[in-house]
Amino acid sequence: MKKTICIILALAVILTVCLGCMAGCQKDNGNKIKLIEVTHSVFYAPLYVAIDGGYFAEEGLEIELSNGGGADKCMTSLIAGQSDIGLMGPEAAIYIANEGRSDHPVIFAQLTKKDGSFLMARQPDADFSWTDLAGKNVIGGRKGGVPAMALEYAIKKAGLVDGKDYKLNFDVQFDLIGPAFEGGTGDYCTMFEPAASAMQSQGKGYIVASVGEQAGDMPFTAFMATKSFMEKNSDKVEKFTRAIVKAMEFVNTHKAEEIAKILAPSFNGTSEASLTTAIQAYKDIDAYSTTPIMKAEDFDLLQNVIIEAGVMTKKADFAKLFDATIAQKILNE
């Protein structure tokens, strides 16, 4: 984990210098928010509803969305000032805070409350049990990332220990898990929607279980910004959060078919039928948060999972990392 943090901080310094050199050539847009997401998935449906449903526009905001392809890259972009707001796992903020950085990221709204990945097998298995992973090789994603740690925790709840009863493969990058599995690596892998359903429809892998259901509630993805950005742009963050809250309510009160129609523009090449299936899969496991307010007990479980995975040894202060001020103000409106 220390090596990961060092890499993040080094890259952040380089990016900061480059951005400083270009600052004079760029025109500031007071309504624009540069948002970086950890990956592009229906798992983050409320975000795309806020974009495609016009909730950000109602708040007078223009969203410039980019895909970081991993929490480490997202965090590097955030602390370097290349991005204003990041959507990623809270673990990224925990790591930076534990290193003692003064201008650490602050989480201001939670988006999902469970792991959104589904366990994929090479053959359909209606009678799958987590103990079936004994003696198997499972592609888990990047070591230190919540998807990998939540998966390890879910399997551990079934009584299996990595390295003893099965092998958790950390050698495949998160965004290359699908191609690696299709190419013959591993007996099982995990995929987010709509990629999981797409793989299944092509007969290249089959959904047998939900990691989120097995692992339990934890703050899986959340919006965060550096302390300095929050202090200087509280109005922007408030408008952003208000749009997200409206979108969250829409997702939690409407059918999957209706949601799919709204966010379809963000998933060109994916049919509304596939989007509907993916959204319903997340509704079925109660993955979408109903409130932007993070629960301290869920945050504590997340940190326990990280510690059990051997990635860190001390917990971060919940009150230091999560600021509910803006979200609570909006909920009180």
Contacts of 62 (CB under 8 A, 6+ apart): 29, 31, 32, 33, 56
- For residues 201 and 125, the answer to whether their CB atoms sit within 8 Å is no
Which pLDDT belongs to residue 83?
97
pLDDT in tens, 215-235: 999 999 999 999 999 999 999
Give the model confidence (pLDDT) of 193-203 as tens digits: 989 999 999 99
pLDDT at 303: 95
Phi/psi of residue 190, nearest 5 degrees? -115, 145
Look at residue 37 and tell me whether its pLDDT is greater than 90. yes
pLDDT digits (tens, 9 = 90+) for 45-66: 999 999 999 999 999 999 999 9
For residue 118, the cross-strand partners are 191, 210
Read off the pLDDT of residues 263-296 as tens digits, 9 standing for 90 and up: 999 999 899 999 999 999 999 999 999 999 999 9
> Which own/partner contact pairs does 257-263 have at CB distance under 8 Å and 24+ positions apart?
259/45, 259/49, 262/48, 262/49, 262/52, 262/53, 263/42, 263/45, 263/48, 263/49, 263/51, 263/52, 263/53
State the Cα–Cα distance between residues 201 and 195, nearest whole angstrom: 10
Q: What's the pLDDT band for 9 if we cut at 50, 70, 90?
A: very low
> Can you name the residues that pair with 86 across neighbouring β-strands?
36, 224
Question: pLDDT value at position 84?
Answer: 98
Mean pLDDT score of the chain: 91
Residue 254 neighbours by CB under 8 Å, 6+ apart: none
Q: What is the pLDDT of residue 29?
A: 55
Strands (E), the chain: 32-37, 62-67, 85-88, 105-112, 117-121, 137-139, 167-169, 188-192, 206-210, 221-226
Task: Report whether pLDDT(13) > 80.
Answer: no
Tokens representing 275 are: 């989007």
Instruction: Label residue 96 exposed, middle or buried (CB < 10 Å: 0-12, 13-18, 19+).
Output: buried
pLDDT tens for 168-179 read 999 998 889 999
Structure tokens at 126: 């209606």
Whether pLDDT at 26 is above 90: no
Share of the chain above pLDDT 90, in %: 83
Give residue-wise pLDDT tens across range 120-164.
999 999 999 999 999 999 999 888 788 899 999 999 999 999 999
- Whether the predicted model's global pTM rises above the 0.75 cut: yes
Q: By CB neighbour count within 10 A (0-12 exposed, 13-18 middle, 19+ buried), where does 129 fall? A: exposed
Question: Which two structure tokens, joined as six digits, stand for 214?
Answer: 């097995």
3-state SS assignment for residue 302: helix
